[in-house]
Amino acid sequence: MAQEMQVRYVSAYSFNVKWAGEIEIVMDQIRALGYYRINQKFSPKKWIFRWYHVEEGSVQIAGTDNRLGYNAKSKEYWLEPPENHDAMNKEEATSESEENKMNPEQPFINNLLTSFNESIFDGDESKPLINRLTSDSLEEVNGFRAKKWTTTISTDETKMIIEEWMVDNLLLKDTFYSYYSGSDDKDIPSISSNDFIKDIDSTSFIDAIDGDIVKAKLVVESDNAWVKAMEFEIRELYTVPFDALSFAIPEDYKRVEEPNRSWSNKNEPN
């Protein structure tokens, strides 16, 4: 059955940034046995930044050396030789510990979380109070029956509210990550209220929440916060019969040279 099925996983991240307004990133991924495709959309909502809308993706098939990258906006595709994305993976690694070898992005996520929390509570000498509540009933969230948890971390000057909708286990997500074995087979690092609590007060006695997050919201009430709110949700997670066309580049796309991935010119092909 695994050889005849594919799993689609669509997740969305949104950020309300102090100087740029709302930004949304949608990741549409499809996996089958030996096949992987990802399509990413970067969409600023503020009109002055809408010209920076980006939609790119890549396709990788086990047994082939090259990966195909594409830009849906310009309808162009290119070959990504293994030496190119192998070098990129090496640059992303920030430590040689065993934990970091398994997930090179996690140290960066942890450092970002610490920096984020320090900026919010900067100059606040009082110890944050942490409170957590849970709903009595399950809620429907994009087809999932989830339990809502609300965690509040506050001082006299600052408040952070984290809402999380969780299920006991997403077996289909585990299947999704087990399908393809290649350079893109690692899970995406995630942050939960457990991580915020551990980073802000490692001595807290509040029990960690177990389960998988299907939706989460973070709202920050602080003059120091450069991010006012963040949100994550799983919009789609389902399995359908295998379709090879899901991993094909449209025929009307033009082949070009691989674009430059430097900060000065990383979004549009040459």
In contact, 167 and 149? CB cutoff 8 Å: no
Query: Could you tell me what percent of the chain has a pLDDT over 90?
Result: 40
Q: Give the closest residue to 191 by CA, choosing from 168, 209, 175.
A: 209
Task: State how far the Cα of 240 lies from the Cα of 151, in Å rounded to an integer.
Answer: 36
Domain boundaries, the chain: 2-255
The per-residue pLDDT for 261 is: 57
Q: State both tokens at 228.
A: 């006012």
Task: State how far the Cα of 92 lies from the Cα of 121, in Å rounded to an integer.
Answer: 29
What distance lies between CA 86 and its chain's CA centroid? 21
For 1-47, the pLDDT digits (tens) are 456 899 999 999 998 887 778 888 999 999 999 999 999 999 887 76
pTM given for the model: 0.80
Interior CA angle at 118 toward 114 and 123, to 5°?
165
For 102-121, the pLDDT digits (tens) are 444 455 556 666 777 777 77
Over 90: is that where the pLDDT of 243 sits?
yes
* 3-state SS, residue 119: helix
Interior CA angle at 11 toward 7 and 17, to 5°?
165
Of all helices (H) and strands (E), which one includes residue 76? strand 76-80
In contact, 16 and 45? CB cutoff 8 Å: no
Q: Give the closest residue to 160 by CA, choosing from 188, 190, 119.
A: 119
